[in-house]
């Protein structure tokens, strides 16, 4: 597939280099670059100047499409794109799933911490948002046309629910933002705790206490009533 256009909405991160030093020739001072590259917001040209040796050939072009950079994943074992015989420049497997590299960046803003789950539409990652200094869940949709189309419907619904519930009282999942990255549709969410299935396993597959069941049921009813109201 062709090279993608990059995140339009609230979605860009920052560069990074090994704990090497960078000299400011104008002042004669020396800046210590942190090993994880989290130096705060930078313009792409400055990030490229500092971290050129840590970026792949593909990234040196790609980074200039961003307005701001927060993280570049300098310590990650990066895919050396472009890979001429690889899918999507080497970034995808043969099923259209993005190949995850822990410690690398997503859109020069998010640092991949690890995987949370995988399904037919794509995969969900735990990421560190270097722009906001928070942890988020990031959903990477498979790079196939029908999944992109379905993702746009999901985004439309999530955006409507978000706008109609500014005080977050509806017990529905909250989308933070969405964008395109390397031909993949990406959606970010607030990071939540353990899911119901994992909780059931931790409980030894034993019945939950009635009081806990009532709490779950109340939240489901609140969510269903809100969605019914919003059609």
The per-residue pLDDT for 29 is 41
CA nearest 47: which of 75, 31, 28, 71? Answer: 71
pLDDT tens-digit map of 163-176:
999 999 999 999 99
Mean pLDDT across the stretch 151-173? 93
Q: Tell me the C-alpha distance between 141 and 158, whole Å.
A: 15
Average model confidence (pLDDT) for the chain?
85
The per-residue pLDDT for 40 is 78
* pLDDT over 70 at 14, yes or no: no
Residues of the chain with pLDDT > 70: what percent?
A: 83
The pTM assigned to this predicted structure is: 0.80
209/28: higher pLDDT: 209
H helix runs in the chain, sequence order = 44-51, 57-62, 145-164, 196-202, 210-229
Who contacts 53 (Cβ-Cβ below 8 Å, separation ≥6)? 17
* pLDDT over 90 at 10, yes or no: no
The per-residue pLDDT for 108 is 96
Q: Tell me the C-alpha distance between 157 and 224, whole Å.
A: 14
Q: Which residue bears the tokens 């080497």?
A: 90
Q: Tell me the C-alpha distance between 178 and 157, whole Å.
A: 13
pLDDT tens-digit map of 36-63:
556 678 999 999 999 999 999 999 999 9
The per-residue pLDDT for 32 is 56
Q: Provide the pLDDT confidence category of residue 13 given band limits of 50, 70 and 90.
A: very low
49/29: higher pLDDT: 49
Q: Provide the pLDDT confidence category of residue 35 given band limits of 50, 70 and 90.
A: low
The per-residue pLDDT for 193 is 86
> Pairing mode, if any, of strands 175-181 and 184-190?
antiparallel
DSSP secondary structure of 15-54 = ----S-EEEETTTTEEEEPPTT-----B-HHHHHHHHGGG
DSSP 208: P
Q: Would you call 115 helix, strand, or coil by DSSP?
A: strand
Mean pLDDT across the stretch 118-138? 94
pLDDT tens-digit map of 220-231:
999 999 999 987
* pLDDT over 50 at 86, yes or no: yes
As a whole number of angstroms, the longest Cα–Cα distance in the chain is 69
């Amino acid at each position: 597939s062709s090279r993608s256009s990059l995140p339009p909405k609230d979605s860009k991160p920052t560069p990074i280099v090994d704990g090497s030093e960078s000299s400011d020739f104008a002042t004669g001072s020396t800046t210590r670059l942190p090993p994880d590259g989290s130096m705060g917001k930078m313009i792409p040209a400055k990030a490229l100047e500092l971290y050129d040796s840590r970026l792949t050939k593909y990234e040196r072009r790609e980074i200039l499409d961003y307005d701001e950079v927060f993280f570049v994943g300098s310590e990650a074992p990066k895919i050396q794109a472009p890979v001429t015989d690889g899918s999507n420049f080497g970034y995808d497997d043969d099923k259209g799933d993005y190949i995850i590299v822990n410690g690398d960046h997503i859109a020069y803003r998010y640092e991949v911490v690890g995987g949370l789950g995988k399904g037919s539409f794509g995969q969900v990652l735990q990421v560190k948002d270097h722009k906001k200094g928070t942890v988020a869940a990031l959903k990477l949709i498979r790079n196939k046309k029908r999944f992109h189309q379905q993702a746009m419907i999901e985004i439309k619904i999530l955006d409507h629910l978000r706008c109609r519930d500014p005080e977050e009282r509806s017990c529905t999942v909250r989308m933070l933002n969405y964008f395109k990255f390397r031909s993949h549709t990406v959606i970010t969410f607030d990071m939540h705790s353990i899911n119901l299935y994992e909780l059931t396993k931790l409980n030894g597959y034993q019945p939950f206490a009635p009081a806990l069941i009532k709490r779950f049921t109340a939240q489901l009813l609140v969510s269903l009533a809100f969605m019914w109201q919003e059609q």
